[in-house]
C-alpha cells in the first residue's frame, strides 16, 4: 500500500503545480463593461477592496466577466466567489436566491452551464462561499467562458473575491481525485480473495472428513 500512497502524493504535487488561478479584483466599476451603472461598495467587502453591489427589484442575470476560451479545452474549471445577501425574497415564480453561473461556449453554439453553490444564499446572510464547476472535455477548445451573478428574486446582493481556477484533466489528476475509491476497491478485492481462500480451505477440509 505504501507505493500507492506515494503515487497519489506525487500526482497531487503535479496537480498543484499545473493549477491556474485567474483573480478578478471586483474593486472598480470599470471592470464591468457590460454593466451601465455598476456600483462598487467599499464598505461591504470580504477582502477589503470593495465588492459589486446589486439591488434587484425582480430576477436578473448580471454578466460579470468573459474570458477567451483558449486553454479551456480539457480542464476542470471552477468559478468561485463570496456572496452576501440582504432581504432577498421570492416573488412570483422566483425562488428568492442568489447564485453563480458559468457558461462555457463552444463553436457552433453549444454550451456547458454550471450553477452554484448547492445551497444558495437567501434572505439575509453574511459572506457565503459559492462555487460552480464545469468539466470541459469536448475535444475542441471553447470560444469563451462567461461568469455571471444571478439574482432570482428581489433584494440586495453583494459579490466579491471572484476567481476562476482551472486544472488539466489528465489520468493522474483523475486518479488523485478518486484515490479513496481506488483504495477502497483494492481493500475490497483483498477481502474477496481472502474469503475465497477460506471457502476453499473449508471445502477441502470437508472433503477430507468425508
- Domain holding 43, by residue range, is 19-169
Nearest of 95, 115, 89, 91 to residue 104 by alpha carbon: 115
Residue 67 belongs to domain with CATH number: 2.60.120.260
Dihedral, CA atoms, 10, 12, 173, 160, nearest 10 degrees?
-160
Any residues with CB less than 8 A from the CB of 173 and at least 6 apart, and which?
Answer: 11, 14, 15, 76, 167
Residue 184, domain member (yes or no)? no
Residue 174, domain member (yes or no)? no
Residue 117: asked if its preceding bond is cis (omega within 30°), the reply is yes
CA atoms of 173 and 14, how far apart (whole Å): 8
Residue 60 has pLDDT above 60, yes or no: yes
Using one digit for the tens of pLDDT, what is the confidence trace for 73-131? Answer: 999 999 999 999 999 999 889 999 999 999 999 999 999 999 999 999 999 999 999 99
Residue 126, domain member (yes or no)? yes
CA atoms of 196 and 198, how far apart (whole Å): 5
Nearest of 96, 76, 95 to residue 85 by alpha carbon: 96
**Alpha carbon separation from 187 to 10, 57, 124, 180, 182 (Å, rounded):** 21, 56, 47, 11, 9
Residue 37, domain member (yes or no)? yes
Q: How many domains does the chain have?
A: 1
Helices within the chain (DSSP H only):
2-17, 171-177, 179-209
Residue 193, domain member (yes or no)? no
CB 21 within 8 A of CB 165: yes
| DSSP character string of 14-30 | HHHHT-EEEEE----GG
The more confidently predicted of residues 205 and 119 is 119
Residue 125, domain member (yes or no)? yes
Using one digit for the tens of pLDDT, what is the confidence trace for 19-53? Answer: 899 999 999 999 998 888 899 999 999 999 999 99
Q: What is the pLDDT of the chain when averaged over all its residues? A: 87
Residue 52, domain member (yes or no)? yes
CB 98 within 8 A of CB 142: no
Residue 28, domain member (yes or no)? yes
Q: What is the pTM of this model?
A: 0.74
Amino acid at each position: 500500500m505504501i507505493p500507492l500512497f506515494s503515487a497519489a502524493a506525487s500526482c497531487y504535487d503535479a496537480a498543484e503545480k499545473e493549477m491556474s488561478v485567474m483573480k478578478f479584483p471586483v474593486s472598480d466599476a470599470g471592470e464591468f463593461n457590460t454593466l451601465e451603472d455598476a456600483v462598487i461598495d467599499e464598505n461591504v467587502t470580504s477582502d477589503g477592496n470593495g465588492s459589486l453591489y446589486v439591488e434587484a427589484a425582480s430576477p436578473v442575470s448580471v454578466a460579470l466577466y468573459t474570458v477567451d476560451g483558449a486553454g479551456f479545452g480539457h480542464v476542470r474549471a471552477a468559478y468561485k466567489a463570496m456572496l452576501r445577501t440582504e432581504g432577498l425574497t421570492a416573488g412570483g415564480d422566483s425562488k428568492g436566491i442568489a447564485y453563480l453561473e458559468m457558461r462555457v461556449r463552444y463553436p457552433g453554439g453549444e454550451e456547458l452551464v454550471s450553477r452554484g453553490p448547492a445551497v444558495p444564499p437567501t434572505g439575509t446572510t453574511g459572506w457565503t462561499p459559492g462555487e460552480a464547476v464545469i468539466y470541459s472535455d469536448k475535444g475542441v477548445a471553447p470560444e469563451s467562458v462567461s461568469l455571471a451573478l444571478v439574482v432570482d428574486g428581489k433584494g440586495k446582493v453583494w459579490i466579491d473575491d471572484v476567481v476562476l481556477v482551472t486544472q488539466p484533466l489528465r489520468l493522474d489528476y483523475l486518479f488523485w481525485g478518486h484515490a479513496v475509491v481506488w483504495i477502497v476497491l483494492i481493500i475490497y478485492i483483498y477481502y474477496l480473495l481472502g474469503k475465497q481462500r477460506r471457502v476453499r480451505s473449508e471445502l477441502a477440509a470437508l472433503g477430507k472428513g468425508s
